[in-house]
């Protein structure tokens, strides 16, 4: 019976496969086989034994059901894998499985192989999302809209700026993932408490050779586990990505409010239902789901931080939590990246409401422009600020257009003509270098991999 929504509601097949039981077992078999091969090359175990172990390093031979059956008796996950693996090897080859290693050598190294696959899925999806945001930035490079600070109308900006800003943030996350991959995807064959005593004098050679076989960098030093600062960094990176998607979602949801309605996510009016009781509803459910699930990814990062200070050379407190934390965070993040891609592709910009909202404050959003004009015309910046501030407050309180109030102010009219006043209230001419800034992002993006 499915309990966790990941089982039936959230997640993609590709990421679920990375963290599935079958995949985990397969990666563990590959690590055990790489260990046997490395040891045979150094004359520590018979070559024939290593060859047989490598022939059988597949779930085609070592069945998950059998591993679970053995674990019911042994109550040890790695021992059950070793025993099930040994059963499938002919002759005495099974006696040489797990030779000189300890459980976390296999678990942590196999997990690194899973992480490599997870990185590939996440990075490919983030690059798709980045591309969708860049398309939107190009499309809306000159779409003038109101900028908001503190939830209040500020000065004009463009929707191109918003989308380009998000695209660059996604690019930084791609770079963070790539950087953290080098520290997280590592191998470890160091034995109990990390001294390599059971492997003997060839310990360092075996340790390095296993890394080569599996295309993983061997750790320089460990105790009995790969140190969890590496995993904490990875989980923090996932949380950062989730929070960027949350930020995008919050903006879209806010801009889809009935009284704003500048943005709207896809809604199939022919059959989609927004509410069980209110037939008119068109809710931003895609971006709400993104925001909601991002909280779990963020919370999981904090839980992984608690796995960094284990008791001395190791304890088991990290194991149980990480069985939940890594798959859950990777699956949920992959899921909300997918939702973000879908949401961006189908996101509509309501130009009529965008323009209407520009006019909402009756010219107050041009107060900065007027103030800077007066400052440059000789009034002085501080005097200009206070003069325009008083006019703006009067316009607000009386519900009048700022232009009307300014025209009545003698101190203002000493420095500005009627024609200049008219031109200053053309919102589309007060977006600074926004189109150029977006163009710079689009040009720089050509160098992104």
348 and 387 co-located in one domain: no
As a whole number of angstroms, the longest Cα–Cα distance in the chain is 103
Residue 168 lies in a domain: yes
- Is 26 part of a structural domain of the chain? no
Q: Is 321 a catalytic residue?
A: no
pLDDT at 110: 98
Do residues 35 and 210 make contact, with C-beta atoms less than 8 angstroms apart?
yes
Same domain, 391 and 286: no
Any residues with CB less than 8 A from the CB of 78 and at least 6 apart, and which?
28, 98, 103, 106, 107
Note whether residue 87 is domain-resident.
Answer: no
Domain end among 326, 354, 382: 354
pLDDT at 77: 94
**Are 197 and 162 in a shared domain?**
yes
In terms of domains, do 195 and 250 share one?
A: yes
Domain's final residue, options 311, 331, 354? 354
176-200 exposure pattern, b = at least 16 Cβ within 10 A, e = fewer:
bbeebbebbbbbbbbbbebebeebe
Based on the fold, state whether residues 344 and 405 are members of the same structural domain. no
Asked whether residue 239 falls in the same domain as residue 136, the answer is yes
What pLDDT is stored for residue 259 in this prediction?
95
Task: Using CB atoms within 10 Å of the CB of residue 437, give its burial: 0 to 12 exposed, 13 to 18 middle, 19+ buried.
Answer: middle
Of 100, 110, 130, the C-alpha closest to 345 is 130
> Which of 179, 215, 275, 377 is the catalytic position?
275
CATH number at residue 320: 1.20.200.10
CATH of the domain at 409: 1.10.40.30
For residue 345, give the DSSP letter: H
Domain co-membership, 171 together with 292:
yes
Q: For residues 232 and 106, what is the distance between their CA atoms, to the nearest angstrom?
A: 20
- For residues 296 and 150, state if they share a domain: yes
Is 385 in the active site? no
Residues 117, 149 share a domain = yes
DSSP state of 97: T
| Structure confidence at residue 175 (pLDDT) | 97
Q: Domain end: 298, 319, 354, which one?
A: 354
Q: Answer yes or no: do 118 and 137 share one domain.
A: yes
Is 401 part of a structural domain of the chain?
Answer: yes
Question: How many other CB atoms sit within 10 Å of the CB of residue 309?
Answer: 10
The answer to whether residue 12 is domain-embedded is yes
Return phi, psi of residue 153, to 5°.
-65, 130
pLDDT at residue 317 in the model? 87
Domain residue limits at 391: 364-424
Q: Is 419 a domain residue?
A: yes
Q: Do 245 and 346 share a domain, yes or no?
A: yes
Residue 31 belongs to some domain of the structure: no
Q: In the chain, how many domains are there?
A: 2
Q: Let me know if residue 409 belongs to a domain.
A: yes
Instruction: Write down the pLDDT at residue 268.
Output: 84
Given 150, 276, 320, 417, which residue is catalytic?
150
Judge if 173 and 200 occupy the same domain: yes
C-beta separation of 187 from 216 below 8 A: yes
Q: Tens-digit pLDDT profile for the chain (449 aa)?
A: 888 999 889 999 999 999 999 999 999 999 999 999 999 999 999 999 999 999 999 999 999 999 999 999 999 999 999 999 999 999 999 999 999 999 999 999 999 999 999 999 999 999 999 999 999 999 999 999 999 999 999 999 999 999 999 999 999 999 999 999 999 999 999 999 999 999 999 999 999 999 999 999 999 999 999 999 999 999 999 999 999 999 999 999 999 999 999 999 998 889 998 888 899 989 999 999 999 999 999 999 999 999 999 999 888 889 999 999 999 999 999 999 999 999 999 999 999 999 999 999 999 999 999 999 999 999 999 999 999 999 999 999 999 999 999 999 999 999 999 999 999 999 999 999 999 999 999 999 999 98
């Amino acid at each position: 019976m499915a309990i966790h929504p990941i089982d039936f509601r959230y997640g993609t097949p590709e990421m679920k496969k990375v963290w599935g039981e079958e995949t985990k077992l397969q990666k563990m078999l590959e690590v055990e086989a790489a260990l046997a091969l490395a040891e045979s090359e150094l004359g520590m175990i018979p070559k024939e034994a290593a060859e047989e172990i490598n022939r059988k390093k597949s779930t085609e031979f070592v069945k998950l059901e059998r591993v679970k059956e053995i674990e019911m008796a042994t109550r040890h996950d790695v021992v059950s894998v070793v025993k099930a693996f040994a059963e499938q090897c002919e002759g005495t080859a099974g006696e040489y499985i797990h030779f000189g290693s300890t459980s976390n050598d296999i678990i942590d190294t196999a997990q690194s192989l899973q992480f490599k696959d997870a990185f590939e899925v996440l990075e490919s999806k983030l690059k798709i999302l980045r591309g969708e945001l860049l398309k939107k930035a190009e499309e809306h490079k000159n779409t003038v809209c109101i900028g908001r600070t503190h939830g209040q109308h500020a000065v004009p900006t463009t929707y191109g700026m918003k989308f380009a800003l998000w695209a660059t943030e996604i690019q930084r996350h791609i770079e963070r993932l790539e950087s953290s991959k080098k520290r997280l995807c590592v191998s470890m064959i160091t034995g109990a408490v990390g001294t390599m005593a059971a492997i003997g004098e060839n310990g360092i050679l075996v340790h390095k050779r296993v890394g080569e076989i599996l295309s993983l960098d061997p750790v320089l030093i460990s105790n009995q586990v790969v140190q969890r600062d590496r995993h904490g960094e990875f989980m923090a990176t996932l949380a950062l990505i989730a929070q960027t998607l949350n930020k995008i979602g919050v903006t879209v949801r806010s801009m889809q409010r009935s009284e704003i309605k500048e943005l709207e996510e896809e809604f199939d009016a022919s059959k989609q239902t927004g509410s069980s009781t209110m037939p008119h509803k068109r809710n931003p459910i895609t971006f709400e789901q993104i925001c909601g699930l991002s909280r779990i990814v963020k919370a999981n990062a904090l839980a992984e931080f608690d796995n960094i200070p284990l008791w001395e050379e190791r304890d088991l407190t990290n194991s149980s939590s990480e069985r939940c934390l890594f798959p859950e965070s990777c699956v949920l993040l992959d899921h909300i990246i997918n939702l973000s891609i879908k949401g961006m592709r189908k996101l509509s910009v309501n130009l009529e409401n965008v323009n209407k909202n520009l006019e909402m404050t009756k010219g107050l959003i041009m107060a900065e422009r007027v103030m800077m004009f007066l400052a440059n015309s000789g009034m002085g910046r501080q005097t200009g600020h206070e003069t325009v501030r008083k006019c703006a407050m009067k316009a607000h309180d009386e519900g009048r257009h700022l232009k009307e109030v300014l025209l009545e102010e003698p101190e203002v009219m000493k420095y500005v003509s009627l024609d200049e006043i008219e031109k200053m209230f053309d919102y589309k001419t007060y977006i600074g270098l926004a189109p150029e800034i977006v163009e710079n992002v689009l040009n720089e993006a050509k160098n992104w991999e």
